Structure formats: structure tokens, C-alpha cells
Structure 1
């Protein structure tokens, strides 16, 4: 059972980024570094410490879901949908989708699980890459 955060809270948005970071089973140090350089903490209105707490809680929730052999399903459609449903405000969905894309590009490779979850995120929230570009083109 996943920890509950208030809908549209900084923690709910942070957890979606954590889910993407963890989806390939490899937490790349560059992804953590990118949180700082991309100003993700400020964008989400969350402290670095609180973000790390959300990361730890997510990892603990995943380990609680391990089967008898200790295997963990990193990409579970129901979990992904449940977590995506915690962010319902269109502006916040657009923000998370934009930050996720920036973060994924930071380690210069987007894994298949990251790409699959990201595509599902856009589809579930009815967003396109054009929406993201239009909202955040500088």
C-alpha cells in the first residue's frame, strides 16, 4: 500500500518524478544532480530534504510490495495509474510532465520503462509534447 499524500501536493508531484527515476531499477546520480540544476525543488515548492523523504518512502513502499522471492514489480500499471491520479490540476500535470522530460534528458538516456511510463502519463493526462513545448518554450 502506497503512502498517501494530499492530491496535487508537492509530495504527490515529487513522487511521480521519483517513480520515473526508479522505473528502470537504476537511480542514476545524474538524475539526482539534475534536480538541483533544473531547479526542480523550487518548481515543485518542496525542499531537497522533503524530496529525499518522498524518495525513501517510495522505495520503502516498493519493498513492502515484494513477493516471496523478494522480487519487486517496478512498473505496475495500477500503481502508476493510482499515482498519476493524485495530480489532477492541469497546470500541475503540465509542470510534472515538463520536469519529468527535463529530468529524463539529464542522464542523456531514456530507458524503455521511463519512456513507457512517460507516454502513459501524457496519454492519461491528455497532454502532448506540443503542449509542453507551447507552455514552456523560452
Structure 2
């Protein structure tokens, strides 16, 4: 899997792309949710740049396929998530990932795993839970 600079538009865009394809299906409703979230503008990534990242992600995933099955193990997933360090960027990406996953009206197991892992890794390291409780 390619490496991107920490908190770069490419690292953030790849996380969003992963949220779209992790279930094995890229739905039009997920693309619409991405567009309506305005997250691409926030991370300074245009549509052609995002589409290129999406294609690169799919190519990288296919090169690591095992007997025709694409797998993303925990260490690989953690490495991708670790490229996002800024707490506010993590929160915004996680919100967008939930919108993407929810867009087709069905939360696939792979989407749930991605969202749970991002929530666990990012919240533990940035004290999401402490900020949420303090605001409540």
C-alpha cells in the first residue's frame, strides 16, 4: 500500500475512498453523500484528485489480494488510519465516513469494522470521548 504524508489531502482522501469500497460495492448514494458532505473541499482535494486516489486504492488492494480475495488486515488498516493525526481532521473524516457508510441504507460488516477501528484508534489517541463528554 502506498504511503502518504501525514494529514495530507491524499491520506485523508484515501480514508474516504476506503469507506466507499470496503464493502466491495461503490454505490452512487455514497458518492452523493461524499459530495454533500463538502469534505473534499475541506481537505483541499478536487474530484479528479479523489477519483485518482480511489483508483490507486483499488489497484493497491488488488495487488494484495490472496487467492482473488481482497483483504485488509488490522495492521494495514491501522497504518492507513495512522496517516491522519490532526484531531479535528479525524473528527471530520469520521463524520464523513459515517455519512458514506449510511448512504445506501445498509451498514456492511466491513464498513462497521472500518468505522469501529477508526473510532477506537482515533478517539483513544485524541481524547474524542473526553471532548464529547465535556460538551454534553
Deviations 1:61-83 (CA, angstroms, capped at 9, x unpaired): 0111122x32221x321111000
Distance 2:116 2:80 in 1: 15
Higher helix share: 2
Distance 1:19 1:80 in 2: 10
Match of 2:36 in 1: 37
1:90 and 2:110 matched: no
- TM-score normalised by L of structure 1: 0.84
Kept after mapping to 1: 8 A contact 2:34/2:96: no
Q: How many residues align?
A: 128
1:28-107 superposed matches below 5 A: 28-67=27-66, 69-73=67-71, 75-107=72-104
Distance 2:20 2:10 in 1: 15
Distance 2:100 2:21 in 1: 12
Q: CA RMSD in A?
A: 1.6
- TM-score normalised by L of structure 2: 0.85
Match of 1:21 in 2: 20
Q: Secondary structure at the match of 2:25?
A: coil
- Which runs of 5 or more structure 1 residues have no equivalent in the other structure? none
Distance 1:34 1:114 in 2: 15
- Which runs of 5 or more structure 2 residues have no equivalent in the other structure? none
